[in-house]
A and B are shown apart, each in its own frame.
Chain A
Amino acid sequence: MSEQGVKPRIRRRRVISGVWLIPLFALLVGAWFVYWEWANRGFEVTVQFHNAEGIVAKKTKLRYRDIDVGEVEEVVLSDDLQSVDVRLRVQKTVENILREDTQFWVVRPRISSGGITGLGTLLSGAYISLSAGDKSLKKHFDFVGLQEPPITPASVPGRRVQLISDRGDALRVGQPIHYNGFRVGKIEQVNFDAKRARLNAQAFIESPYHELLNSSSRFWRTGGLGIETDSSGLKIRAGSMESVVFGGVSFGQPDGVKIGKQVGDNHRFDLFPDRQSIDINPYQHALYYLLLYPGSARGLQVGASVEFRGTRIGNVEQVSFDLLSSQQFAEVTDVAFPVPILIRIEPARLMGEDTEEQLAFSKVALADAVRKGMRATVKQGNLITGDYYISMEPLAEEGEGELHALGDYMVMPSSVSGLDKLSDSAMAAFAKIESLPVEQTLQQINASLVTLQRTLWRTDQVMEGVTEDSPIYQDMQQTLTRVRGTLQNIDQLTRTLKNRPSELLFSSPPAADPIPRKDR
């Protein structure tokens, strides 16, 4: 065996040393950290606020249920310089609650009727809070922040309804809403509609109390003390201490009104000034008609009842010529000078259901009734107090009628009441009496009376002559007696001739009379 026959095996040395694995690993770890950081940095949300008071970039936190879920990245003025855009970096964990109705607001120290809030931010500084949105809505990343913190977060179950008041009562956000004295909600927003000069408020009724709401529910203002004095003494009305001090709103079901249908969000309710107003006028749906009454409306007061055959169906809203424009007034006074009376008819008083459907049905039924002769008439309800009311009754003699429009109102035909007719007839009779030649007639009557007196005197004289004691009477009686005697004789003669007809020619002498004898 020679050494030349053995070929050496040549191995190539590795170019890259294994030591490079270490930095490579470090690189991968770093990249992973970068990716992890990038993946977990969250997403950006923009919220528009009126101003940036208390908001500081890279410092102000975004909190949900008092847990930091994000941070303000940047605060910039909006393009139109009317607001500020706050860009927030939000953790991905809260992505699901960012929906269209999610609300953002700045939490800072505040003092309101609802109490003092945000005291904790005095030390920690202001922060931005959010309420979870409805998961059924789309995700959203651009929002308009609230000026004030929401009274009730959007996620709280319940029902939001609109309250409308023409009185413009000083309703404040946060005031409580009560049902039978229990606090069941709050006033969330209060706006004043300058165009319509009325107050619009948003009320939130918490679950499960929102199920108490129905289309027949009524809202009224509460607060303070109500003092009434009458013959039974002094009455003081007061709600809960909270409502007495801070005021508020109550709702409930008016007496005698059926429970209506369930209502949805943003259903509109009238806000009444007090419970008494509801008792007087418990129905929401009503028909308004204008009467052009041809008679006198003296004694007819606003609030007087409108009755259908004795049953109250509404009340008088207004008795005034202001109901007509000058042109309309000239039109209706072309023929006569009627008194405009605005009446309010509440069909639910008869039908029970205070709904739009019932209102529409009643409108048609009323038009049909008018067509068949129903008329409105002013009648006296109380002879002592002189109160009047409107009576709606079918009057056969009036014939067919029809509702017609005049301006904003439907005019219902009206008729003068029987009392007025009687009064007119009496006046006409008085006028005729007045036009009579009274003096001449009285003279004639006096002359006739003198003649009559003489005649009566003569009659009296004549009658005196025929009394029982008078000679004429006595003579007449005697004559009658004699006539009777004569008739008796004729009767006797007749009997004789009947028995013996020959007696007329051959009369026999009467028999001798029996002689009365004295007792022996």
Chain B
Amino acid sequence: MMRAIAFLVLATVLLGCASNKAQPRISYYQLPDSTQQAEEGSVGMPSQRLSVARVSTSDILAQTGIVTASADARVVVANYHHWSELPELALQRNLNKCLRTRESRSTGKVSLEVEAFQSDGAGGSLFAGVWNYAAAAQPRSAKPYRFHYRQALDDDGYAALVSALALSVQQLCSDIEKQLQ
């Protein structure tokens, strides 16, 4: 009796596996680094005066699936389009790299609280949140600055969304530098 049951289960599993259809391929995207070309061939010491110490994101962004939003406020985490790494790590590295290439006279730490890093469901990308600056002389008194960037997509698809978000990141980098001048 037991042998009959075990055989039946095994047959069912094998049948399940056999009936599985072919899955779509998963695409991975890396946040483009616009400062890459500026650093090519450079041998100077990067500026260490201003850096991004921490980037935190909302829970929905704390995963590799690219988030898209619809007009009715629904958000969808993509199953087949992923960031190559968690967005907050990519943002921290990208912004640090950007700030080091700029000759900022400020010395201190920047922290980022990202509320949106996604498509807005209306033909654009949305990068929004709050960044805080704590001067090195007064590390315990941080001053908050709100940011909100919308970038229209050049084309349909996730690649265009990633490019638009990358432009917003560069814009944030520029604005931080200008704000702290």
Residues of A within 8 A of B (CB): 468-469, 477-478, 481-482, 484-485, 488-489, 492, 505-507, 509-520
B13 → A minimal CB distance (Å) = 7
B27 → chain A closest CB, angstroms: 9
Contacting pair A509 B21 (CB below 8 A):
yes
Give complex CA distance A259, B181 in Å.
92
Contact indicator A515/B153 (Cβ below 8 Å)? no
A513-B79, A516-B161 are contacts. A484–B62 as well, Cβ < 8 Å? Answer: yes
With A516-B160, A518-B152, A519-B152 given, name 6 new contacts (CB 8 A).
A488-B59, A488-B63, A509-B24, A513-B80, A516-B156, A519-B123
Residues of B within 8 A of A482 (CB): 86, 89
B51 → chain A closest CB, angstroms:
7
Known: A468-B109, A509-B21. A517 touches B63 (CB 8 A): no
Q: What residue of chain B has the Cβ atom nearest to residue A487's Cβ?
A: B62
Known interface pairs A481-B89, A484-B62. Does A516 touch B16 (Cβ–Cβ under 8 Å)? no
Please state if A519 and B122 are interface contacts (CB–CB under 8 Å). Answer: yes
Q: Report the Cα distance A518→B161, complex, angstroms.
A: 9
* Binary A-proximity of B122-139 (CB < 8 A = 1, otherwise 0): 111000000000000000
- Interface membership of B117, Cβ < 8 A: no
The winner among A478, A506, A511, A517 for most chain B CB atoms within 10 A is A517
Check A519/B153 contact, CB under 8 A, given A485-B62, A513-B76.
Answer: yes
| Residues of chain A with a CB closer than 8 A to B54's CB | 477
Q: A505 contacts B64, CB within 8 Å? A: no
Q: Chain B 53-93, CB within 8 Å of chain A: the 1/0 string? A: 11000010011100010100000111111000010110000
CB–CB A511/B79 < 8 A: yes
For B100-129 the 0/1 string (1 means CB < 8 A from A) is: 000000000100000000010011100000
- A481 close to B158 (CB less than 8 A): no
Query: How far, in whole Å, are A484 and B109 apart by their CA atoms in the complex?
Result: 23
Q: Is B175 an interface position by the 8 A CB rule? A: no
Number of interface residues, chain B, beta carbon within 8 A:
39
The distance from the CB of B65 to the nearest CB of chain A, in whole angstroms, is 9
Judge whether B89 and A516 touch: CB under 8 Å. Answer: no
The prevalent SS among residues of A at the interface is loop
Task: With A485-B63, A510-B79, A512-B80 as known contacts, state yes or no: A518 contacts B156, CB within 8 Å.
Answer: yes
Q: Are A485 and B153 in contact (CB under 8 A)?
A: no
CA A505 – CA B12 in complex, angstroms?
Answer: 10
A489, B63: Cβ atoms under 8 Å? yes
B154 at the interface (CB under 8 A from A): yes
Q: Are B13 and A485 in contact (CB under 8 A)?
A: no
Given A505-B16, A506-B16, are A512 and B86 also a contact pair (CB < 8 Å)?
A: no
B38-55 at interface with A (beta carbon < 8 Å) = 48, 51, 53-54
- Interchain CB contact under 8 A, B63 and A469: no
Say yes or no: B68 contacts A514, CB within 8 Å: yes
Contact of A518 among B48, B77, B109, B154 (CB under 8 A): B154
Do the beta carbons of A514 and B51 come within 8 Å of each other?
no
Decide: B153 and A509 in contact? CB cutoff 8 A: no
Residues of B134-181 contacting chain A, CB below 8 A: 152-158, 160-161
Q: List, sorted by A's number, 16 A–B pairs whose CB atoms are closer than 8 Å.
A: A469-B48, A481-B88, A485-B86, A488-B63, A509-B23, A513-B80, A514-B68, A515-B156, A516-B157, A516-B158, A516-B161, A517-B123, A517-B153, A518-B123, A519-B124, A519-B153
CB distance from B137 to the nearest CB of A (A): 16
A516 touching B86 in the complex, CB below 8 Å, given contacts A485-B63, A488-B59, A489-B63: no
Which residue of chain B has the shortest Cβ distance to A510 in the bound complex?
A: B79
Q: How far is the CA of A228 from the CA of B179 in the complex (A)?
A: 83
Task: Report the minimal beta-carbon distance from A517 to chain B, rounded to whole angstroms.
Answer: 5
Shortest beta-carbon distance from A507 to chain B in Å:
8
Report B173 CB to chain A, min CB distance, Å: 19
A-chain residues with CB within 8 Å of residue B24 when the two chains form the complex: 509, 512
State A221–B123 Cα separation when bound (angstroms): 121
Q: A481-B89, A506-B16 are in contact. Are A516 and B68 (CB under 8 A)?
A: yes
When C-beta atoms are compared, the residue in chain A nearest to B120 turns out to be: A516
Q: Output the nearest chain A residue to B12 by Cβ-Cβ distance.
A: A505
Measured between alpha carbons, how far is A507 from B80 in the docked complex, in Å?
Answer: 16
Taking CB atoms, residues of chain A closer than 8 Å to B53 are 468
Cβ–Cβ contact A518 & B88, under 8 A? no
Q: Is there contact, CB below 8 Å, between A517 and B21?
A: no
Report, nearest first, the 5 A-B pairs whose CB atoms are least far apart: A519-B123, A510-B79, A518-B153, A513-B78, A516-B119
Min CB gap B47→A, angstroms: 13
- Nearest CB in chain B to that of A506: its residue: B16
For B48, what are the chain A residues with a Cβ–Cβ distance below 8 Å? 469
Instruction: Give the CA-CA distance A121 to B19 in the complex, in Å.
Output: 172
